[in-house]
Amino acid sequence: MADAQNQNQASFLGDIPVEVVVELGRTTMVLRDLASLDTDDVIELNQPMDKPLDVVVGGKLIARGELVMVAERMALRITELVSSSGNTEK
């Protein structure tokens, strides 16, 4: 009976939507520079072009991947999964 209850709970949790963030990179700017941004300005990020992008859910890194095109849209191919202990699986 407990197994069926756990299975129903797991099924229910699997249907909860979560926001998935694919992070291109980060930078630090002073507020003055941020406020003066205009069309066609470029913000340099700390991420090299060939480095995998981070996939973050709930503020936690869960995977890394690379940008690909799918039917005229950007997509992400997962190249490695990050376990809760911080180890990576390819």
Q: Kindly report, residue by residue over 3-37, the tens digit of the pLDDT.
A: 666 666 667 788 889 999 999 899 999 999 999 99
Domain total for the chain?
1
Task: Give the CATH number, domain containing residue 70.
Answer: 2.30.330.10
Give the number of residues written for the chain.
90
Residue 60 domain-assigned (yes or no): yes
Range of the domain at 24: 19-89
Residue 84 domain-assigned (yes or no): yes
Residue 3 domain-assigned (yes or no): no
Q: Tens digit of pLDDT for each residue in 53-87?
A: 999 999 999 999 999 999 999 999 999 999 876 55
- List the strands of the sheet with 60-70, edge to edge: 20-23, 53-57, 60-70, 73-82, 88-89
Give the integer Cα–Cα distance in Å for 75 and 67: 6
Question: What per-residue confidence (pLDDT) applies to 12?
Answer: 78
